[in-house]
Amino acid sequence: MISTIIIVAFSLLLLVGLSAALLVSPLRAEADFRAMDPSKMEGLAVSHFVNCKQVSRALAEEDYALVRTRLPRQSSTRMRHERRALVRNYVVQLGRDFARIDRLARIVASLSPSVNRTQEFERLRLELQFRCLYRLVLVRLSVSGEISAESLARLANLVGAFARRVEAAMTWKETPPLGDQLLGA
Amino acid sequence: MHHGLLLNPRWAIGLSLEIAVALLAIRRRLFSELPIFTLYLSLVALVQIGVWGVFLTSGLNSRASFWTYWDTQGILVFFRAMVIGELARRILSPYEGVWALARMVLSTVAVILLIVAGVTAFQNQHTLITFISSLERGLEFAVIGTLGLTILFSRYYEIEIERPVMLIAIGLIVYSSIAVGNSHVLNNWLGSYFNIWAEIRNDSFVIALLFWLAAVWKPLAARVRPTLLEPAVYGQMVPAMNFQLRQLNGRLSEMLR
């Protein structure tokens, strides 16, 4: 009985620890720009989503099916691995773009004279959700290695739309550019 | 008269350090920037001198010593809570929007932790010592929770914490964390542990004082207020971002199906 309790308690502890590590530890995509000066944030173009067409092309199922019938087995396996690496790298770069915009959003919130409680809590919740989902997608890619080009394109379009909104806000016509204000802060 | 712990040189070092830190804080005119913390430091030194006086005249094991010690600890815990409010204000108040949000969250968390402390102490009334140590543990836990949350807020919104303020916060967290653990052990082992408990308590406060000494070593400059954005920027940007984030999470969820 005692050993069962210990095993259950240990499993729970492990689960809680892993969940906490998952939520608290920064995304790998965030690591590079964590120490970056906030005043230079808008100089960092959110660019990876624009390469989506090329990535989608590389992932086109019909091309792959054609190549697979013509290439030797070894070569088609290598191609499959390379496609998987390409998708993984692309998702990581999208995460990086997202994380960069997210950081900017936090700075904007901190420099705003009033913030909306509901919006802030919602963003926090969504961020945590994003961190979990993003990691799960990467795990899925590692395990199965498959993700459709269509899904990837939709994801990229979202990040792109997100970036355009931020860019529009940064050049808000009634205020000095955000960069100037951040430099003045 | 029983001098016991009073002959311990570490107690004398602790008292000397308390007086030195309080005097240095006054000399550095810390009261213009952090008046409550300066008052707390002065109070710590004065209270310690007063408590020693009672211990020497009445003896360590007297009723008067017991109540003097715990009454003054109650006052000091109250002032520590005030110091945390002051630190939170110092760190976050220049950022008006975040400060309004943080004030609400911190007050709620502090009230919940205080209620938990009260209820836990009420349920631990087996002896006076267990009651007081449970209450103290709960209050110290409230100190850690509130201060920790303030630091989390500043980390999340990338608000810089001045080095001396951070050192003061670390000192408070270190002392309160050790006090929580120490009270927990005291509750379980009581008498046999009391002398060790008293020494750990004293030493942990010396560690906190060393952090505070580093904090008051140089004068603290007045807080620079940042230039804030137009309210419309937030109103235009954040709801749109949240909307996009919701959609993004939806897409990520779809990929996992």
Q: Is the pLDDT of residue A15 over 80?
A: no
Is residue B185 within 8 Å of residue B197, measured between CB atoms?
yes
Check whether A41 has a pLDDT greater than 70: no
Q: Would you place residue A56 in the very low, low, confident or very high pLDDT band (cuts 50, 70, 90)?
A: low
pLDDT of the residue at A43: 46
Residue A42: what pLDDT? 47
pLDDT for B39 equals: 94
Could you read off the pLDDT tens digit of each residue along chain B, which spans 257 residues?
455 555 667 778 888 889 999 999 999 888 889 999 999 999 999 998 888 888 888 877 788 888 888 888 888 888 988 999 999 999 999 999 999 999 999 999 888 888 888 887 777 766 777 777 777 788 888 888 889 999 988 988 889 899 999 999 999 999 888 888 777 776 666 556 666 777 777 788 888 889 999 988 888 887 888 888 888 888 888 887 777 777 777 777 776 66
Question: What mean pLDDT value characterizes chain A?
Answer: 67
Q: What percent of chain A has pLDDT over 90?
A: 0
Q: How far is A105 from chain B (nearest CA, A)?
A: 7
C-alpha span between B3 and B7 (Å, rounded): 6
Residues of chain A found within 8 Å of residue B236, distances taken between Cβ atoms? 168-169, 172
Contacts of B241 in chain A (CB under 8 A): 101-102, 105, 123, 162, 165-166
pLDDT at A33 over 50: no
Name the 3-class secondary structure at B86.
Answer: helix
pLDDT tens track for A89-132: 777 777 777 777 778 788 888 888 988 888 888 888 888 887 88
**Residues on chain A touching B229 (C-beta within 8 angstroms):** 108, 111-113, 175, 178, 181
Task: Determine the pLDDT at residue A45.
Answer: 45
Predicted local confidence at residue A128, as pLDDT: 81
- Contact call for B233 and A166, based on CB within 8 A: no
Q: Cβ of A180 under 8 Å from any chain B Cβ?
A: no
Q: Is A116 on the interface with B (CB under 8 A)?
A: yes
Among the partner residues B98, B238, B251, nearest to A123 by beta-carbon distance = B238
Mean pLDDT of A149-162: 66
Q: What is the rounded distance in angstroms from the CA atom of residue B122 to the CA atom of residue B35?
A: 34
Structure tokens at B53: 């006086």
Q: For residue B3, which phi and psi values (nearest 5 degrees)?
A: -90, -30
| Residues from chain B contacting residue A154 (CB–CB below 8 Å) | 251, 254
Q: Which has more confidence, A116 or A174?
A: A116
Interface of A with B in 64-83 (CB under 8 A): none
Tens of pLDDT along B160-189?
899 999 999 999 999 888 888 777 776 666
> What contacts A138, CB < 8 A, 6 or more positions away?
A88, A91, A92
Which of B97, B249, B252 shows the shortest C-beta gap to A113?
Answer: B97
- Using the structure block, give the residue that is written with the tokens 């419309």: B232
